[in-house]
Structure 1
Amino acid sequence: MRLVVLGGTRFVGRAICNAAQRRGYDVVVFNRGRSGPPPSGALAVRGDRTMVSDLRDLAKLIDERGGADLIVDPACYAPSHALMSARILKDVAPEYAVVSTVTAHSQWPEQPVESGSPIYETGITDGPSEDASLYGRLKAGVERAVETIYGEINTLVVRPGIVLGPHEDLGRLPDYLRRAARGDGFVVGGEPQTWFQYVDVRDLAEFVLTCAETGRPGRYDVVTQPGEYTWGDFAQAVSEVAGGSPVFVPDDRLLAADVEPWRGLPLWVPESPQTAGLWAVDGKASYDYGFTARPLTETVADTWAWLQKEGPDWRPTARVAVHGIDAEVEQELLRQAQAL
């Protein structure tokens, strides 16, 4: 297959390119060259997806190479940008794959959702925003923008939950691993029996390509099944590879210490009626069409191995908010836990 990836040098895009090359695909990556080197073996084309002239040059190149089978758009969160790329590239590639997010569902996280649940009614001409709270809404607009041009029958939409694995650039799992590696306790929020869901970036990449190979467009929420793992499982997997002992701190004590949910302590959100569906995304549709998930322990171990290889200078990318609890706050919470 002939694949064109818009981006292709960061977390999800990198994984898709690597998986495609293992399958023997012809891979073209189109980006500005600012987020790292292109994957080895891929044809790198420099350009800005927000520029009509650059997209037209890309379309011309693809046409000269005999066309492409699939456009993969792993990171776009501006509906207007997706609309433009879909319009310009439609004549040189018959199918378009969007990597969206489960947060595109308008009922999430208040209610459990599945692939057919409603998404936000975001306009297809909306532009980008620096407001992180709009991410899911904008991704919903990206889905609609591409489907407007390609039609549902030629559009693949995959909506991952929390994406973890080697090369994660948000600092979530790496934060837990690095805190655990100190050798003493590390804080985990809430209760160990609370459900936990995620998708390994490599399994996500393989599913995108499997759908492309088998001609299965559609909308798929891609995540481990509800109840398959708990936060206790996650914490134990981190402890086994990096050391340290997980210390679960109740929601009320974390809030009293002014720990910011989700970012201040990565992925932790206090339990409430407003978050009843947070870890209850039903990914059955993706499993029915070939998605397979490696064990959580493998994801954590491989991420730890990668992080050690990267060395102590690794940091999350500058364009995203750094995730992680303040060291002094964590030590005080650990002292409080020991005193109980």
Structure 2
Amino acid sequence: MKLLMLGGTEFVGRAVVEAALARGWEVTVFHRGRHAAPAGVTSLIGDRTTGPDGLAALATGSWDAVVDTWSAAPSAVRDVARLLADRVGRYAYVSSRSVYAWPAAAGLDEDGPLVEGSADDGDVPYAEAKRGGELAATAAFGADRTLLVRAGLILGPYENVGRLPWWLGRIARGGPILAPGPASLSVQYVDVRDLAEWTLDAVAAGLSGPYNLVSPPGHVTMGDLLDACVRATGSDAELRWTEPEALVEAGAAPWSELPVWLPPGEMYDAMHCADVSRALAAGLRCRSAAETVADTWAWLESVGGTAPQRPDRPQVGLSPEREAEVLAALAKG
């Protein structure tokens, strides 16, 4: 298989490239040159945000499939998809479950209502951008040649958003740690490598249409995730499990200050209760939390303990001062 990866030097794109190379695929990476491309690929330099001139490196060449993780202006997906439509077999667009109209009910499958979007949009909010990207890819390649990978929360090595790296760094420091409970609370995410393997399998099998891509409900709990962090880091951390109501009353912000975690309710249903039966039937396999956490910690140590941070995403996690404030508020309560 000949694969064109749009991006391919960070997180999801890099995982896709490494998985494709491991299969013996011929991989071309189109990127801006800000980071080194993985060894073993053909590297093409360009910038899809600068108009037609930025796509000059893609003016020739043919591939069996293209994988695209773009999450900004849908018009950038439109332009590259139109350019490649006659020279590439299939278009796999890594989208997001954010494309579902809010609030996304628990158990929502791929037929749920969607946000509005347009392939011609410029800068728009994330949900509309991803929906516009879906429409752009489908318009150029047709529904039968377009795969829409609607990922949820993505964790694993190379993460540049900071969620699992923050938990690992905090737990490695040890001491009493605010652990958002209950420990039995199910969380849904997909290991970036499982996403990559499934996407390549789906492309090779000629699959098309939308697929929710996260682990099945009950696969991992908050307890599984944080206990794995303690084991991986060898920390003496003391996880102080705290009920959701107490955390909310103490002012701890779900998701941003306490990454991954959401209290039961509307947002939890939308983020951690997706129906993934279609992806499972199409071969999705999800590794254990222990493996995801251990491999992410090993990668973090290999890069000096500090994960790269996407400039378009805010820092996540409680600062030491904020954690002390919340723990003090809980103690008074």
Q: Same fold (TM over 0.5)?
A: yes
Structure 1 residues 313 and 157: alpha-carbon distance in aligned structure 2, compared to 1, 3 A threshold? closer
Which residues in structure 2 correspond to 1:81-96 (within 5 Å)? 81-96=76-91
Verify the 8 A CA contact 2:77 2:137 in the aligned structure 1. yes
**Residue 275 (structure 2) aligned to one of 282, 286, 289:** 282
Partner of 1:251: 244
> Aligned to 2:127, what secondary structure does the other structure show?
helix
The CA deviation at 1:87 is: 0.7
Using the TM superposition, name which of 255-264 and 198-207 deviates more. 255-264
In structure 2, what residue type is equivalent to 1:58? L
Q: What does the per-residue CA deviation read over 1:129-185, in whole Å, with 9 as the maximum and x for residues that have no partner?
A: 4xxxx3122211111111111111000111111100011001100111111111212
Verify the 8 A CA contact 2:162 2:316 in the aligned structure 1. yes
Partner of 1:213: 204
Structure 1 residues 236 and 316: alpha-carbon distance in aligned structure 2, compared to 1, 3 A threshold? same
Cα separation, 2, equivalents of 1:114 and 1:96: 22
Structure 1 residues 222 and 274: alpha-carbon distance in aligned structure 2, compared to 1, 3 A threshold? closer
**Residue 263 (structure 1) aligned to one of 256, 264, 268:** 256
> Aligned to 1:100, what secondary structure does the other structure show?
strand
Verify the 8 A CA contact 2:188 2:214 in the aligned structure 1. yes
Cα separation, 2, equivalents of 1:271 and 1:68: 45
Verify the 8 A CA contact 2:3 2:65 in the aligned structure 1. yes
Number of residue pairs matched? 330
Verify the 8 A CA contact 1:110 1:274 in the aligned structure 2. no
Structure 1 residues 108 and 298: alpha-carbon distance in aligned structure 2, compared to 1, 3 A threshold? farther
> Aligned to 2:48, what secondary structure does the other structure show?
coil
Structure 1 residues 24 and 201: alpha-carbon distance in aligned structure 2, compared to 1, 3 A threshold? same
Verify the 8 A CA contact 1:176 1:186 in the aligned structure 2. no
Is 1:41 equivalent to 2:53 in the alignment? no
Verify the 8 A CA contact 2:252 2:326 in the aligned structure 1. no
Which residues in structure 2 correspond to 1:115-134 (within 5 Å)? 115-129=110-124, 134=125
Partner of 2:297: 304
Q: What does the per-residue CA deviation read over 1:203-250, in whole Å, with 9 as the maximum and x for residues that have no partner?
A: 100011101111112211111111222212222211221221322233
Partner of 1:183: 174
Please give the root-mean-square deviation of Cα atoms over the aligned residues, in Å.
Answer: 2.0
In structure 2, what residue type is equivalent to 1:157? L
TM-score by length of 2: 0.92
TM-score by length of 1: 0.91
The CA deviation at 1:193 is: 2.1
**Residue 318 (structure 1) aligned to one of 311, 317, 330:** 311
> Aligned to 1:246, what secondary structure does the other structure show?
strand
The CA deviation at 1:56 is: 4.2
Structure 2 unaligned residues grouped into runs of 5+: none
The CA deviation at 1:121 is: 2.2
Is 1:6 equivalent to 2:6 in the alignment? yes
Structure 1 residues 165 and 68: alpha-carbon distance in aligned structure 2, compared to 1, 3 A threshold? same
> Aligned to 1:324, what secondary structure does the other structure show?
coil
In structure 2, what residue type is equivalent to 1:16? V
> Aligned to 1:69, what secondary structure does the other structure show?
strand
Cα separation, 2, equivalents of 1:246 and 1:47: 47
Q: What does the per-residue CA deviation read over 1:8-54, in whole Å, with 9 as the maximum and x for residues that have no partner?
A: 111000000000100111111111112x1101011111101122123
> Aligned to 2:286, what secondary structure does the other structure show?
coil
